[in-house]
Amino acid sequence: MGSLPPPYLDFSSANQGNEHHHQEISKDNLLAFFKSQQDLLNHFFKHLDLSQTLDFSRILLSTSGTVFFTGVGKSAFVANKICQTLISLSFRSSFLSPLDALHGDIGALSSSDVLVLFSKSGYTEELLRLVPCAKARGAFLVSLTSVPGNPLAGVCDMNVHLPLQRELCPFNLAPVTSTAIQMVFGDTIAVALMAARNLTKEEYGANHPAGRIGKSLIFKVKDVMKKKEELPVCKEGDLVMDQLVELTSKGCGCLFACG
């Protein structure tokens, strides 16, 4: 994780003496950024412990309670997104704010629940303070971290190591690779659980009644068609002026004429 950035990621010399200096983004440099990120993600895939991942997947699949996710900062956004994905797949899941948990929300946890804690470093103070309170509720705790030997992994019931070579950030600080790894890991687990549950397309569609997904999977013609009494209808002998009211009031943009 402490490796130096490649030359195209090192901005330090360009920024010396000119805080607001801007460089042009060339096509080659942009391509190099994506290639570097790809290499960093490949490092994750190559070194991920599948036995840990399998155990984690089976725990989520077999839990009789709710799978809670938590995190701080960027990891919290990832945790919330994975939670929402599982909910859309008909799994009982919820996001637990570590701050709110210590001010009453910890009451949502029970001994049948799993609490998944996202943290790149495993040194996040808010999560470390949450652990004893969550354990007191009897929940099963799983940490997802990227720094070996971190304290959070040591106090949870289970840890899954998410291998991280370094951040794409030239300073190795901004979490732009670690969060991508967390997201890829969580979404892939979600799809594995979806397959294990044999979720059907109809069941998935039922959870998405709005938007393009709902329209393509569950909506039928009868759900959107206008009924007979809602149609603007006129006869040959009707006055045109009278039918203007009929036309505008039904909001169809057309008038059906019958003999």
Report which residue type is found at 28.
D
Residue 1 lies in a domain: no
Do 158 and 245 have their domain in common?
no
Same domain for 194 and 76, yes or no, is yes
- Domain with residue 111: its CATH number is 3.40.50.10490
Q: What tens digit of pLDDT does each residue of 98-144 get?
A: 999 999 999 999 999 999 999 999 999 999 999 999 999 999 999 99
**Whether pLDDT at 204 is above 80:** yes
Enter the tokens of residue 155. Answer: 């106090």
How many structural domains does the chain have?
A: 2
Residue range(s) defining the domain that contains residue 91: 31-206
Q: Is pTM, for the whole model, over 0.85?
A: no
Q: Would residue 9 count as lying in a domain?
A: no
Please check the confidence at residue 9 and state whether its pLDDT lies above 90. Answer: no
Cα gap 203→197, rounded to integer Å = 11
On whether residue 253 sits in a domain, the answer given is: yes
Residues 144 and 108 grouped into a single domain: yes
What is the reported pLDDT for 205? 84
- 232 and 117 both lie in a single domain: no
| pLDDT for residue 208 is more than 90 | no
d(CA 83, CA 67): 8
Residue 218 belongs to some domain of the structure: no
* Other residues' Cβ atoms within 10 Å of the Cβ of residue 65: 15
What is the Cα–Cα distance from 122 to 129, expressed in whole angstroms?
Answer: 12
What pLDDT is stored for residue 27 in this prediction? Answer: 95
- Mean of pLDDT values over 20-38: 90
Rounded Cα–Cα distance for residues 193 and 28 (Å): 40
Looking at the structure, do residues 247 and 146 belong to the same domain, yes or no?
A: no
- Secondary structure (DSSP) of 7-68: GGG--HHHHTT-TT------HHHHHHHHHHHHHHHHHHHHH--HHHHHHHHHHHHH-SS-EE
Inside any domain, residue 14: no
Mean per-residue pLDDT, 178-201: 97
* Same domain for 169 and 64: yes
Please report the pLDDT score of residue 253 as a whole number: 61
- In this structure, are 187 and 240 located in the same domain? no
In this structure, of 23-32, 34-43, 167-176, 188-197, the range with the lowest mean pLDDT score is 23-32
Which pLDDT score, from 0 to 100, does residue 140 have? 98
Residue 222 or residue 49, greater confidence:
49
Q: What is the reported pLDDT for 109?
A: 98
Residues 247 and 191 in one domain: no
CB neighbour list of residue 28: distance below 8 Å, 6 or more residues apart: none
Alpha helices in 104-239, H assignment, sequence order: 125-136, 151-155, 178-196, 201-206, 211-217, 221-224
Residue 80 lies in a domain: yes
* pLDDT 10s digits, 145-186: 999 999 999 999 999 999 999 999 999 999 999 999 999 999
Kindly state whether residue 10 falls inside one of the protein's structural domains.
Answer: no
Does one domain contain both 159 and 250? Answer: no
Structure tokens at 202: 């109809």
